[in-house]
A and B are shown apart, each in its own frame.
Chain A
Amino acid sequence: MSVIEELAREFGRLPGVGPKTAQRLVYHLLKSSPDDGRRLAGAIREAMERIRPCGRCGNFAEAELCDVCASGRRDEDVVCVVEEAFEVAAVERTGSYRGLYHVLGGHLSPLDGIGPDELNVAQLLERVRAPESRIRELILATSAGVEGEATAVYLEGLFRPLGLRVTRLARGIPVGSDLEYVDGSTLAEALSGRREM
């Protein structure tokens, strides 16, 4: 296999990159200056060598703790529980959350053999039970499907008896959408989760 083919094959393993796009990326790189290519290779190497799971929450981290855990300016009373590390970035983009995070590493998925032991639940228990812990609330931000819902129910059963406030992200009509075009189950969720004005 030629070097070009090998590079195209590696690009083709990335999500959303098909064989043609992979080839275009390779040709684009080859037309660029050698320094551009070296910079890209260096950035990939550095990311793979330096980024690891945060020792406390499981988020992406360049040191022992991620930026959020190491910040010292976050609200340590609240922990938002997400399934994957990239979802931390999604919540951070809202700019309206100042608490900490915990990354489960997935959700309950019986067909994939993923039960409670395969998720980072024991680590969350450890965080909550630590003598220095100030955690008072868990926000369960697992996905809205049946697997995410069952995961949230499982976590609620585990953590509510410890005296924590356990909340779930609200679900309903997307901002800016017409009621007429909202699907039945989303509308049903929105109705059952309605709030006082």
Chain B
Amino acid sequence: MSMVSTRGVLLRAHPYSESSRVLRFLTEDHGVVGVMARGIRKSPQGRGLDLFGEVALVLYMKPGRELQTLAEVSPLRPRRGLGSHPLRLACAGVLAELVLRHHGEAPSHELFQVLGEGLDRLESVPEDEVVGTLLAQGWGLVSTLGFHPQVEACVVCGRSLSTDEVGRFDFDAGGIRCSGCAEGLAGPRIGPGARGQLRGLLRGEIPPDLMRSRAHLQLLSDFGMHHVSGSRPLEAFRIVAAFLPEPTTVSDA
């Protein structure tokens, strides 16, 4: 058993017995780590330990063990602003769920950085930019996990998509099929406007005229379910939808 120090973002916390918690962190140096925090619910240390907050951790780690043991924790960046609106909380939940469902135990400094940046932005952007920020950060996160969708050229024949072409999204193939290869495919239609917005989101930009945010969310949710979560629906997306200001049509993403 070795003692390690690392930074971590708290993704999930479950009460365990009267005074303990089982915590799940994305750590900077050890990937996703499950931790048993004995007595934390009654200890002063537990007060600074908030969901999505960044902390400095000292852990007793033993390879192969499901739950490591918490020695010390101190808050670095609480991110309490994510509680200032339920939509911010739900969007932060989407990013956390994508990381948790991926089950990546391999350490990734880039993933740690992308998640932290996403949570920071969700905490600070104006309320009307929260969903756009989730979409940009969510696509950034799945790309960092290794699933960058192909939107410039057809995923089947490789032909560059023309500026006015309407294709369809092929989740299995991980990108857009051109009009010729899309025949009979049931995936969502992607017109030139939506493709342009998707390109912007993949660059981390929020299109100023982001339309049909529900359809964009559905696309990201289905893509995440297909590639990241092993076909299990991502719960947090449903909660995001419950807080969206007004419903728009889902067709023609």
Contacts and interface: CB of A to CB of B under 8 A. Distances in A.
Contacts of A183: 44, 47-48, 75
Given A16-B17, A183-B48, A151 B86 contact: yes
Contact of B17 (A15, A109, A145, A150): A15
A32 B78 CA distance: 51
Given A150-B89, A183-B47, A186-B48, 9 more contacts: A16-B19, A108-B89, A110-B90, A111-B97, A146-B89, A150-B82, A150-B86, A151-B86, A154-B243
B83 A185 contact: no
Contact of A145 (B50, B85, B235): B50
B238 interface: yes
Contacts, number: 90
Interface of A: 15-16, 108-117, 145-151, 153-154, 181, 183-186
A185 B78 contact: yes
Size category, B interface: 35 or more
A127 B12 CA distance: 33
B100 A150 contact: no
Contacts of B88: 150
Contact of B83 (A113, A115, A147): A147
B86 A185 contact: no
The majority secondary structure among interface residues of chain A is helix
B86 A153 contact: yes
6 contacts: A115-B239, A146-B92, A150-B85, A185-B48, A185-B50, A185-B75
Contacts of B85: 150, 153
A148 B84 CA distance: 10
A150 B82 CA distance: 8
A116 B242 contact: yes
Interface in B72-122: 75, 78-80, 82-86, 88-90, 92-94, 96-97, 100
A146 B83 contact: yes
Contacts of B93: 109-111
A108 B240 CA distance: 11
A149 B92 CA distance: 14
